[in-house]
Every structure is written in structure tokens, then in C-alpha cells.
Amino acid sequence: MKKRKIGLALSLVLAAGTLLGACGKSNNNDTTKGNGNNKGFSVGMVTDIGGVDDKSFNQSSWEGLVNYGKENGLEKGKGGYDYLQSTSDADYATNLNTLVHRDFDLIYAIGFLMPAALEQVASQNKDAKFAIVDAEVKQPNVASILFKEQEAGFLAGVAAALTTKTNHVGFIGGMKIPAPEHFEAGFLAGVKAAKPEVKVDSQYAGAFDKAELGQAIASKMYSTGADVIFHAAGNTGNGIFKEANDRKKKEPNKDFWVIGVDRDQNEMGPDVVLTSALKRVDVAVKDLATKASKGDFQGGKVILYGLHDDGVGLAPINEKAANKAAIETAVKEWTDKIKSGDIKVPETRDEVKSFNPKK
């Protein structure tokens, strides 16, 4: 019964968004936009529920928009670059429609949870241009941006396996959706490739905005022997950093490493952040905006970013890591193998079971 009520509420929200889009301005006949001159090509984005300053996914997306705006002499606000923040999934359709009515030339929906809302809004605003990150929407006016998260996760797994002193590491995901699951699969494969005897604990928090839950899960993992934890949990991951920093202050001679995600999260704790699995959402957002502003909008297509085109990667290894040089050497070797196609990194846990890194 509870699920039915939630589904009904979401349907009503989407219906309201549809009506709003149908009543709003949907035609854009300005032929000076997207014709090879990106001056004045405005870009907006709607965040997922983690917030624009989540130190992770949303923040990386916003940084890409800011970089695009500054490079093209735009200012924050209408006619330039801007964002609307979502506090719940009920905000998605309304926020997307608001940006349409503010005449942004390209509108980003950030996150896996937005396809239904974007499908509705895009279908009612066929002359507007949209892009979605981490999901696919099959509409001619929507470009879908996806990443090979498993490749970055694999490198994180190599780094974790070569760092752990207890042969015990952990993975904490936000929700069980493709992106975190890809990170997890890659991480498991990377650990397996570098040091197969290492134990990996995996757990999902079920949310991207519950820092206290991330801290509680991390506390249990550290208490049971893990000395490196990789997170793909958005704002929930901030609690993992807090737990690691708190423990490091109490026991400075012990290792409580965290591997960040999406962007270089070193600022979350220089004594505890080993590295970060980079998912260059900022690069992808800026790249697509630049192409669209020059008349090359990728509507109706899926654009996939991986190691080969610097869409994912690994941040620098912490200078305080005991075997930093060995980790860097191994990461480079595996990066070269992935880029050359010598190995294909598993996308799922099932694929990890049959993964043979020696092939």
C-alpha cells in the first residue's frame, strides 16, 4: 500500500510537470544559437537530491558548467549558466520545466533517478535541448551521458589491494543502481587482479544523502579489520571520511584509508584519503555543452566516456601511502592494458566471478 501511494504521488507530480511544460514556451527559433558561435549559449542543470555541494557527483557536474560558462564569458543566472537544486524526486519535473521557461539553450538532468521526469518534460518541449547524466532517455532532443565507472573502480581496487596491511578492504555504495554497481564490480576485479587473497566487504546504504549512515557502516567495517574503504555513495560518503578522520586522530599510527569517488576528494582528509576514482562528469558536461553550442548537439544518442578518452581515471596517490611508487607503477600498467583492450573490466558482480586478469 505504501508503494502504491508513493507511485501515485510521483505520477501526479509528473503529470503536473507535463501540464506545466505544455503551457510553457517550447519553441526556440533563435537561429543565432548553436550555429558555431557559442557566445550567449546558456546552460542550466537540475541537481539530484544530494545537493550541488555534495563534494561528489553533483558538484563535479556543476564545476563542468562553471568552467564552460567562464571560458565563454557567461555569468551565473538567466542567459548564462545556472542550476536548480532538488530536495526530493518531486522537484525534478518542476525544476526542469522552470529552466525551460527561463529559455536555457541546454538543460542537464543530473542523475539516474531523473529519466521519468525528463521523459515527460522533453516530450512536451520538443524544441528544447536536454542532456541526462548516468541514464538513457530515448528522445531526439535528449543526449544521454554514460561512463565506464568500472574502469575507474578497477584502478581503485588495485590501489586498495596494494595498500592494505590487514588484507581486508571495504566498498560502500549509495543505492543499488548501475553507476555504483559498476564501481563495485570494477573494484572487486581490481582487488582480484592485484592481490586475490584480500577480503572485500561490500554494503549499500540505500541513499546518497545520509552521511550519518555512511559513517555507521564505515565504523563497523573499520572495527572488523578493514583498513581501506572505497565509497561510491555521494553525500553519504561524507560520513565515511568523518569516521576515518576521527579514528586517525585517536590512533595516528594506524591506517584508516578512504578512496573517494567522482572527483578528487583529497580535501576531505589529507591524512586518510588514499586516492579517488575519478568520474569526469565535469569534463563530459563541458564537452557536450561546447559541442552543442557549435551546432553539434548529440540528441538521441548515448555518449560513453571511459579511460580511453579521459572520462574516468584515478586521482594522485597520497604522498603518505607507504608504497606509493609501487601503487603508481601498477596503476599505470593496468591503465595501459585497459586502454589497449588487453583486458575488459567487468561491469557486474557476476562478471567478476569469471574474470581472469591473466588472460
Q: Are 75 and 140 contained in the same domain?
A: yes
pLDDT of residue 12: 40
Query: 124 and 208, same structural domain?
Result: no
Q: Is the pLDDT of residue 17 over 60?
A: no
Are residue 45 and residue 127 in the same domain, yes or no?
yes
pLDDT tens per residue, range 84-110: 999 999 999 999 999 999 999 999 999
Can you give the CATH number for the domain in which 179 is found?
3.40.50.2300
Q: How far apart are CA 359 and CA 356, in angstroms?
A: 6
Residues 318-328 pLDDT 10s: 999 999 999 99
SS3 assignment, position 323? coil
Cell triple for 331: 596503476
Q: What is the pLDDT of residue 8?
A: 39
Note whether 143 and 118 are within 8 A (CB).
no
Predicted local distance difference test score (pLDDT) of residue 309: 85
Do 131 and 162 sit in the same domain of this protein? Answer: no
**Residue 3 pLDDT more than 60?**
no
At 207-231, the pLDDT tens digits run: 998 999 999 999 999 999 999 999 9
Residue 29 belongs to a domain: no
Contact 69/286 with Cβ under 8 angstroms? no
| Residues 246-291: tens digit of each pLDDT | 999 999 999 999 999 998 999 999 999 999 999 999 999 999 999 9
Backbone angles phi, psi at 106, to 5 degrees: -140, 130
Query: Is residue 24 predicted with pLDDT exceeding 50?
Result: no
For the cut 80, the answer to whether the pLDDT of residue 2 exceeds it is no
Residue 335 shares a structural domain with residue 194: yes
| Same-domain check for residues 193 and 122 | no
* pLDDT average, residue stretch 27-43: 52
Here the cell at position 322 is 607507504
What band does 120 get if pLDDT is binned at 50, 70 and 90? Answer: very high
What is this structure's pTM? 0.83
Helices and strands, counts by H and E, the chain: 11, 12
Decide if pLDDT at 1 tops 80.
no
Residue 99 sits in the same domain as residue 166: no
Q: What is the percentage of the chain residues whose pLDDT exceeds 90?
A: 82
Nearest to 190 by CA among 230, 226, 160: 160
DSSP string, 287-318: HHHHHHHTT---TT-EEEE-GGGTSEEEPPPP
The CA-based angle 23-290-180, given to 5 degrees, is 80
Cβ-proximal residues to 246 (8 Å cutoff; 6+ apart), any chain = none
pLDDT of residue 21: 41
Say whether both 8 and 101 belong to one domain: yes
Q: Give the range of the structural domain holding residue 83, as residue numbers without chain letter.
A: 2-23+36-147+282-308
- Binned at pLDDT 50, 70 and 90, residue 39 comes out as low
